């Protein structure tokens, strides 16, 4: 029998993890595979990771699983060409919005993309991002800085420089 | 407010927020089972690898040990000879008959009963490496008078005194039993006897060492049945499942061996040289040199019989006190066309 605590964990974390996976892949089916595979890894290790650390473990599995997939297909995943069935309301806006974001993220390197997703979608700190990706904090800072520089052209109205540390540019 | 990071954050939230991807618990469990099977498989592969590596390491150790065993360790003292005991056969009697082969005491037979602690001299056969072939040689060893055959075999498994000689037998070999029925001597050795890697010629010479030593301790015409822990001796090239006699060899494994003077001995001049040689037309060549290589004297001598292994004995010319090396070789009938025949050398001191 499946552990009750695991099914509860899946229920509570699916939305967050599938969105992360979608941002990383830009593809509905790939994101689903990625998340289910990450949950399988988490379930295999459930005796160890059950509890507060479970989400971090599963998120790490999503990110590293994605790395595996990128390595396997030797390149970027094609994005934005086909999307999941949209909900009837605000159909056009949604599709256009997702398409734009997916295309924008596709211009980043895999590492930059993962850092951006964890930092600005999951709202992880630099230290948490570094831990999830198995990188040093310095490498996370550097990847985020370069990613923001690359994305700046998509936001002509953005104020504040992203020239030095992204952290400094985040003053509100 | 509208920093790049804020805009990006909002964009990601907005775009991903409308994504609704269901996950299937069944798919998760199926995938988990697949992962676990992969774990088991990779664990099995890991264990298989570890096992193979361990077996290879063990094999390597076994091989290395077998190789080390075969290195003749001349540093190992002869356990059969106490330090107080002088070297065997120190000085030949100048009056010894030149026609008689110097043989050990006839009480070397297995029925000889000796008092405990008493020893008797027995010829034990070793191997000397010549320029192109192996030469069976022999050395007089003191063994317990009560069990001369066993003593001779145990001496066979230890290093000889002459530094030019070696034994091809593993020093770890033990004698499990010796018995004699009619003219067949059966000897049973421990499994350590099988640790060798000598090639066909070396293996034949190794067997000759044992056959000649045992038939020396009993009767020269006896035959020897060699067993290892009750089973026929097998070398990988040959199966020795029948009794072996000295006469089985098409030619004598001994080409030339010097019995006296003994290596390292101190003797009086004139020095009598005795030994055995299988020489064409019965001619042997001798040379006496100083340790620095300068020749003092040389000449020829005759064995008792040509074309067969026969004893020889002759006196060297008078020598001043000092250290010398005598070298004996057989006449080369090919006149230098064939590889040089074996020779035997002994270093001795004239008092």
pLDDT bracket for residue A76 (50, 70, 90):
very low
- Asked if the C-beta of B35 comes within 8 angstroms of chain A's C-beta atoms, the answer is yes
DSSP 3-state of B147: coil
**Residue B307 domain-assigned (yes or no):** yes
**Residue B261 domain-assigned (yes or no):** yes
Asked which of B47, B70, B93 is the last residue of a domain, the reply is B70
* Interchain CB distance below 8 Å, B4 and A28: no
Tell me the C-alpha distance between B144 and B141, whole Å: 10
- Asked if the C-beta of A110 comes within 8 angstroms of chain B's C-beta atoms, the answer is no
Q: Structural domain tally of chain A?
A: 2
Using an 8 Å Cβ cutoff, are A136 and B28 in contact?
Answer: no
pLDDT of B117 higher than 80: no
Residues B237 and B282 occupy one common structural domain: no
- A-B contacts at Cβ under 8 angstroms: 124
A122: containing domain: 107-172
- Encoding tokens for residue A33? 């595979």
Minimal C-alpha gap between B72 and chain A (Å): 59
Residues A76 and A111 occupy one common structural domain: no
- The pair phi, psi for residue A25, each rounded to 5°, is -110, -30
CATH classification of the domain holding A19: 1.10.1740
What pLDDT digit, counting tens, does each position of A5-38 carry?
899 999 999 988 999 998 888 888 888 888 999 9
What pLDDT digit, counting tens, does each position of B131-147 carry?
778 899 999 999 988 88
* Interchain CB distance below 8 Å, A40 and B34: yes
pLDDT of B84 higher than 80: no
For chain A, the helix, strand and coil percentages under 3-state DSSP, each to the nearest 5: 70, 0, 30
Residues B113 and B235 occupy one common structural domain: yes
Residues A76 and A122 occupy one common structural domain: no
Contacts of B37 in chain A (CB under 8 A): none
pLDDT of B95 higher than 50: no
pLDDT bracket for residue B68 (50, 70, 90):
low
Minimal C-alpha gap between A158 and chain B (Å): 5
Per-residue pLDDT, A74: 42
CATH classification of the domain holding B283: 2.60.40.10
Tell me the C-alpha distance between A88 and B87, whole Å: 113
Q: Structural domain tally of chain B?
A: 3
- The pair phi, psi for residue A98, each rounded to 5°, is -65, -40
Interface mutation vs chain A, best among B2, B21, B36, most A CBs within 10 Å = B21
Residues A10 and A71 occupy one common structural domain: yes
**Residue A35 domain-assigned (yes or no):** yes
* Interchain CB distance below 8 Å, B32 and A44: yes
DSSP 3-state of B340: coil
Q: Of B1, B5, B25, which has the smallest distance from its Cβ to A166's Cβ?
A: B5
**Residue B10 domain-assigned (yes or no):** no
Residues A113 and A76 occupy one common structural domain: no
Residues A1 and A76 occupy one common structural domain: yes
- Asked if the C-beta of B234 comes within 8 angstroms of chain A's C-beta atoms, the answer is no
Using an 8 Å Cβ cutoff, are A101 and A113 in contact?
Answer: no
Residues B217 and B317 occupy one common structural domain: no
Residues B217 and B121 occupy one common structural domain: yes
Residues B185 and B132 occupy one common structural domain: yes
Interface mutation vs chain B, best among A23, A29, A37, A40, most B CBs within 10 Å = A40
**Residue A96 domain-assigned (yes or no):** no
DSSP 3-state of A98: helix
- DSSP H or E segment with residue B112: none
- Asked if the C-beta of A59 comes within 8 angstroms of chain B's C-beta atoms, the answer is no
Minimal C-alpha gap between A75 and chain B (Å): 22
| Cβ density class B294-326: b for 16+ within 10 Å, e for less | eebeeeebbbbeeeebbbbbbebeebeeeebbb
* Interchain CB distance below 8 Å, A22 and B16: yes
B308: containing domain: 256-350
DSSP 3-state of A39: helix
Residues B221 and B269 occupy one common structural domain: no
pLDDT of B261 higher than 90: yes
pLDDT of B63 higher than 60: yes
Asked which of B230, B248, B266 is the last residue of a domain, the reply is B248
Residues B212 and B262 occupy one common structural domain: no
- Asked if the C-beta of A101 comes within 8 angstroms of chain B's C-beta atoms, the answer is yes
Residues A27 and A76 occupy one common structural domain: yes
Contacts of A157 in chain B (CB under 8 A): 2, 7
Per-residue pLDDT, B347: 94
Residues B148 and B227 occupy one common structural domain: yes
Average model confidence (pLDDT) across chain B: 82
**Residue B3 domain-assigned (yes or no):** no
CATH classification of the domain holding A131: 1.10.10.10
Tell me the C-alpha distance between B148 and B163, whole Å: 24
DSSP 3-state of A118: helix
Residues A61 and A115 occupy one common structural domain: no
**Residue A100 domain-assigned (yes or no):** no
**Residue A113 domain-assigned (yes or no):** yes
**Residue A92 domain-assigned (yes or no):** no
- Asked if the C-beta of A162 comes within 8 angstroms of chain B's C-beta atoms, the answer is yes
- By the 10 Å C-beta count (0-12 exposed, 13-18 middle, 19+ buried), A168 is classed as exposed
Neighbouring CB atoms inside 10 A of A129's CB total 24
Does the ipTM surpass 0.90? Answer: no
Per-residue pLDDT, A161: 52
Q: How far is CA B180 from CA A11, B24, B183, B202, B208, in A?
A: 90, 85, 7, 27, 18
Residues B238 and B187 occupy one common structural domain: yes
* Interchain CB distance below 8 Å, A40 and B25: no
Using an 8 Å Cβ cutoff, are B35 and A30 in contact?
Answer: no
């Amino acid at each position: 029998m499946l552990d009750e605590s695991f099914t509860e964990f899946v229920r509570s974390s699916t939305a967050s993890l599938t969105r992360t996976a979608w941002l990383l892949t830009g593809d509905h089916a790939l994101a689903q595979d990625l998340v289910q595979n990450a949950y399988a890894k988490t379930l295999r290790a459930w005796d160890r990771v059950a509890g507060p650390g479970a989400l971090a473990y599963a998120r790490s599995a999503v990110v590293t699983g994605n790395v595996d997939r990128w390595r396997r297909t030797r390149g970027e995943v094609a994005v934005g060409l086909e999307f999941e069935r949209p909900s009837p309301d605000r159909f056009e806006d949604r599709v256009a919005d997702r398409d734009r974001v997916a295309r924008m993220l596709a211009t980043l390197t895999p590492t930059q993309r993962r850092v951006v997703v964890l930092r600005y979608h999951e709202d992880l700190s630099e230290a948490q991002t570094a831990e999830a990706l198995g990188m040093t904090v310095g490498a996370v800072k550097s990847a985020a800085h370069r990613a923001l520089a690359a994305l700046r052209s998509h936001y002509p109205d953005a104020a504040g420089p992203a020239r030095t540390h992204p952290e400094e540019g985040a003053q509100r | 407010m509208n920093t790049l990071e804020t805009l990006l954050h909002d964009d990601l939230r907005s775009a991903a927020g409308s994504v609704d991807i269901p996950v299937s618990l069944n798919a998760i469990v199926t995938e988990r089972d697949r992962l676990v099977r992969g774990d088991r498989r990779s664990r099995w592969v890991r264990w298989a690898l570890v096992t193979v590596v361990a077996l290879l390491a063990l094999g390597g150790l076994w091989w290395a040990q077998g190789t080390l065993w075969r290195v003749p360790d001349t540093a190992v003292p002869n356990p059969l000879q106490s330090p107080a005991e002088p070297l065997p056969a120190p000085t030949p009697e100048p009056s010894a008959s030149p026609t008689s082969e110097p043989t050990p005491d006839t009480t070397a037979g297995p029925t000889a009963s000796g008092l405990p602690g008493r020893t008797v001299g027995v010829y034990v056969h070793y191997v000397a490496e010549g320029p192109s072939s192996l030469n069976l040689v022999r050395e007089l060893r003191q063994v317990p008078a009560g069990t001369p055959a066993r003593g001779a075999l145990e001496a066979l498994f230890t290093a000889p005194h002459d530094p030019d000689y070696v034994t091809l037998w593993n020093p770890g070999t033990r004698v499990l039993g010796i018995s004699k029925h009619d003219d067949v001597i059966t000897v049973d050795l421990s499994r350590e006897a099988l640790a060798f890697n000598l090639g066909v010629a070396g293996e034949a010479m190794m067997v000759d060492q044992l056959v000649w030593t045992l038939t020396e301790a009993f009767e020269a015409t006896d035959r020897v049945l060699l067993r290892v822990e009750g089973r026929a001796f097998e070398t990988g090239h040959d199966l020795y499942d029948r009794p072996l006699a000295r006469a089985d060899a098409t030619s004598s494994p001994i080409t030339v061996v010097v019995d006296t003077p003994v290596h390292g001995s101190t003797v009086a001049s004139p020095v009598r040289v005795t030994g055995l040689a299988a020489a064409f037309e019965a001619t042997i060549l001798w040379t006496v040199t100083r340790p620095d290589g300068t020749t003092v004297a040389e000449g020829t001598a005759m064995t008792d019989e040509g074309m067969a292994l026969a004893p020889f004995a002759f006196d060297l010319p008078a020598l001043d006190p000092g250290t010398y090396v005598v070298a004996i070789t057989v006449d080369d009938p090919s006149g230098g066309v064939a590889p040089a025949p074996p020779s035997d050398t002994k270093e001795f001191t004239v008092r």
